[in-house]
């Protein structure tokens, strides 16, 4: 089982890294039960987002993560893509059409083991009941059905903000766009951090460009003779681009292997 600040990294092309960051905490905020912590909804490893529950009323989900730095993402990295991923397994639509689920950046820290609709922690109220969050919609998901599936919200700008300004990282909130009786009446149940299957727990997947990409260039040729104390200009191309524009398969593979072994083809 991965720990609180655990993350998995994979290389993704020249200079790019995919980081899978596990949630540190997640819970449901219930408007109908504003002083009750719903980290284990109905005693189960569930999260709820919706507006048609007779027991919980309007519900929102809040999720937080380790700091991007502690997850291994460099302070100067450029985030090219980031997605909040939740595994949805039950959809209950009682009318009004299909709902849209919005992801927002939280503007206040919370304690998943104590947070309620009214409070962010056992000692601190939300600045706005129901979760303090940015009005900017970071990403949306719609058209959910009763088929279990991983739902993905694009939150690239939010993750970049967390990398650039670590103090701005408070987590994410997911809610319906309407939450009114005149709009879609729908709710979705997701799995939380204590789900039995670890791969179905909440994740943030971040793809970023390394601050200083290393070992990613291909030099197609060098002068036959190199004189001492002389300078030469040679063509250099990123390995991935060279592979796309006509380098033979054998040379492409060799260049990638040299790159992975730490050989810099642009250095003499």
**What is the average pLDDT across 185-208?**
96
Residues 125, 231: one domain? no
Q: Distance (Å, rounded) from C-alpha 221 to C-alpha 247?
A: 12
Beta-bridge partner residues of 208? 17, 79
Query: For residue 1, is it within any domain?
Result: no
Tokens, residue 81? 């893509």
Strand, coil or helix: what is 33? coil
- Residue closest to 210 by CA, chosen among 59, 9, 49: 9
The per-residue pLDDT for 221 is: 64
Residues 68, 102: one domain? yes
The per-residue pLDDT for 229 is: 52
Residues 13, 31: one domain? yes
Predicted confidence (pLDDT) at residue 258 exceeds the cutoff of 80: no
Using one digit for the tens of pLDDT, what is the confidence trace for 150-192?
Answer: 999 999 999 999 999 999 999 999 999 989 888 899 999 999 9
Using one digit for the tens of pLDDT, what is the confidence trace for 115-162?
Answer: 999 999 999 999 999 999 999 999 999 999 999 999 999 999 999 999
Predicted confidence (pLDDT) at residue 66 exceeds the cutoff of 70: yes
Residues 123, 242: one domain? no
The per-residue pLDDT for 257 is: 41
Query: For residue 267, is it within any domain?
Result: no
Q: Distance (Å, rounded) from C-alpha 117 to C-alpha 164?
A: 30
Query: For residue 53, is it within any domain?
Result: yes
The per-residue pLDDT for 262 is: 37
Query: For residue 2, is it within any domain?
Result: no
The per-residue pLDDT for 15 is: 73
The per-residue pLDDT for 255 is: 45
pTM: 0.77
Q: Total domain count for the chain? A: 2
Residues 233, 169: one domain? no
Residues 17, 144: one domain? yes
Residues 88, 17: one domain? yes
Least-confidence region, from 43-47, 66-70, 120-124, 255-259:
255-259
Residues 245, 143: one domain? no
Q: Distance (Å, rounded) from C-alpha 220 to C-alpha 12?
A: 23
Strand, coil or helix: what is 88? strand
Residues 55, 139: one domain? yes
The CA-atom distances, in angstroms, between 152 and each of 29, 88, 138 are 20, 10, 12
Predicted confidence (pLDDT) at residue 68 exceeds the cutoff of 90: yes
Strand, coil or helix: what is 56? coil
Residues 141, 246: one domain? no
Residues 160, 87: one domain? yes
Query: For residue 266, is it within any domain?
Result: no
Domain region containing 136: 7-209
Query: For residue 20, is it within any domain?
Result: yes
Query: For residue 131, is it within any domain?
Result: yes
The per-residue pLDDT for 225 is: 67
Give percent above pLDDT 90 in the chain. 70
Query: For residue 169, is it within any domain?
Result: yes
Residues 231, 100: one domain? no
């Amino acid at each position: 089982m991965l720990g609180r600040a655990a993350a998995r990294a994979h290389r993704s092309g020249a200079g790019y890294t995919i980081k899978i960051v596990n949630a540190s905490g997640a819970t449901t905020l219930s408007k109908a039960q504003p002083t009750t912590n719903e980290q284990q909804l109905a005693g189960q490893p569930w999260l709820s987002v919706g507006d048609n529950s007779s027991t919980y009323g309007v519900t929102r989900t809040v999720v937080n993560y380790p700091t991007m730095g502690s997850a291994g993402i460099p302070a100067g990295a450029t985030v090219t893509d980031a997605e909040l991923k939740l595994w949805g397994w039950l959809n209950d639509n009682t009318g009004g059409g299909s709902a849209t689920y919005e992801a927002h950046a939280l503007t206040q820290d919370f304690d998943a083991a104590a947070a309620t609709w009214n409070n962010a922690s056992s000692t601190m109220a939300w600045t706005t009941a129901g979760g303090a969050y940015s009005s900017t919609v970071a990403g949306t998901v719609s058209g959910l059905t009763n088929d279990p599936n991983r739902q993905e919200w694009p939150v690239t700008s939010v993750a970049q903000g967390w990398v650039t300004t670590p103090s701005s990282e408070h987590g994410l909130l997911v809610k319906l766009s309407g939450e009114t009786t005149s709009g879609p009446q729908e709710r979705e149940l997701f799995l939380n951090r204590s789900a039995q299957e670890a791969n179905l727990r909440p994740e943030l997947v971040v793809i970023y460009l390394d601050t200083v990409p290393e070992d990613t260039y291909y030099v197609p040729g060098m002068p036959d003779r190199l004189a001492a104390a002389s300078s030469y200009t040679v063509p250099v191309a990123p390995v991935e681009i060279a592979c796309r524009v006509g380098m033979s398969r054998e040379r492409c593979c060799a260049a990638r292997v040299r790159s992975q072994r730490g050989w810099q083809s642009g250095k003499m």
